[in-house]
Structure 1
């Protein structure tokens, strides 16, 4: 079972968004039969079987084992992943494409880059899982508080310069030579390209405590 599976097929995406099927996928984090699931989700076994067949046909559920119970064969199933993410590829021609425009100060371009990351990582994870290999990746997540918009702009500028310097230092422009010293038109021979995306955006404000809101409202009465 994968930690996260990215869904690219539109029909599979539609199937996964059904509330009942979402609940079934959640319950199938642990292997179970249709009978066991029926008791958990409060539906007739026949209806659960209907949803299981749909999920299995789209590759979201997999067979773990079959158990003989008298004249009946009980199928034990589980979800293919603990969590799912729908790829922009499922939206086909209306999916965001960062190649349509490039504006490093555009929130929409940031979204397009994030969508491409989901799509590419989904393919890479699936490929690594099929080959039974570990996928090499790296990510940093954090928060920073800027006193002014000027500070934020200065930080972004310095970050861009620092990243460019690192790329110049480590990028293989051909024959193992860093880009800054590679000849014109040189290409990396045997090197593996990596995608580099750096983003900076405002953090969401934490939701106010319901108790504090209630006390404030009472104080205004």
Structure 2
């Protein structure tokens, strides 16, 4: 089972978005038969079987084993991945093109870049898995609080200068036959504000810890 699978086929994307099938995929993080799943999701086994066949047809679930019980063969299935992402290629005709925006201060360009990253890294993971090789990637995720908009702008300017310096230092412009081109994306955006519900949950958890 993969940690994350990227869905590129439009039909597979459509199949995965059905609420019942989404529930089944979540339940199939651990292998189960249609009979076992029917109990978990509260549906007739025949209906669960129908959804399982659709998911299996699109490669979203995989056969783990077959168990013989008298005259009946029980099929045990598992989700192909623990989590799924739908690639922009599943909506190829309307997927965002980073070349259309090309403005480092545009939120739409940021989304287009993120979409391209999902699409490209998904293909790379598939290729690396087929070749039984590790995929060399690197990411940083963190939070930073700015006192003012001016501080945020100054940070962005300094970050851009420093990244450009590093690119100039390590980029092989000579076209070495051993070189491998890499994508570099640096993003900065406001963090989502906590909702009242999540804030209340955090406060309750804090009070419980104080007891």
| Alpha-carbon offset, residue 188 of structure 1 | 3.0
SS in 1 for 2:76: strand
Moved over 4 A (4+): none
Q: Give the Cα–Cα distance (whole angstroms) in 1 for the partners of residues 52 and 20 of structure 2.
A: 10
| Alpha-carbon offset, residue 64 of structure 1 | 0.7
Correspondence 1:53 to 2:41: no
* CA displacement 1:184-221 (0-9 Å, x = unmatched): xxx23221111100011111112233489xxxxxxxxx
Query: Once superposed, what is the RMSD of the aligned Cα atoms?
Result: 1.5
Match of 2:165 in 1: 165
The structure whose Rg is larger is: 1
Q: Give the Cα–Cα distance (whole angstroms) in 1 for the partners of residues 142 and 10 of structure 2.
A: 33
Structure 2: gaps spanning 5 or more residues: 203-211
Correspondence 1:188 to 2:184: no
Match of 2:191 in 1: 203
What does 1:1-221 align with in structure 2 at a 5 Å threshold?
1-174=1-174, 187-208=175-196, 209-210=199-200
TM-score, length-normalised on structure 2? 0.92
Number of aligned pairs? 201
Q: Give the Cα–Cα distance (whole angstroms) in 1 for the partners of residues 21 and 188 of structure 2.
A: 35
| Alpha-carbon offset, residue 121 of structure 1 | 0.9
* CA displacement 1:111-136 (0-9 Å, x = unmatched): 00000011111111111112222111
TM-score, length-normalised on structure 1? 0.88
* CA displacement 1:71-120 (0-9 Å, x = unmatched): 11111100000000111111111001101231001000000000001111
| Alpha-carbon offset, residue 161 of structure 1 | 0.6
| Alpha-carbon offset, residue 165 of structure 1 | 0.6
Structure 1 window deviating more from structure 2 (12-21 vs 130-139): it is 130-139
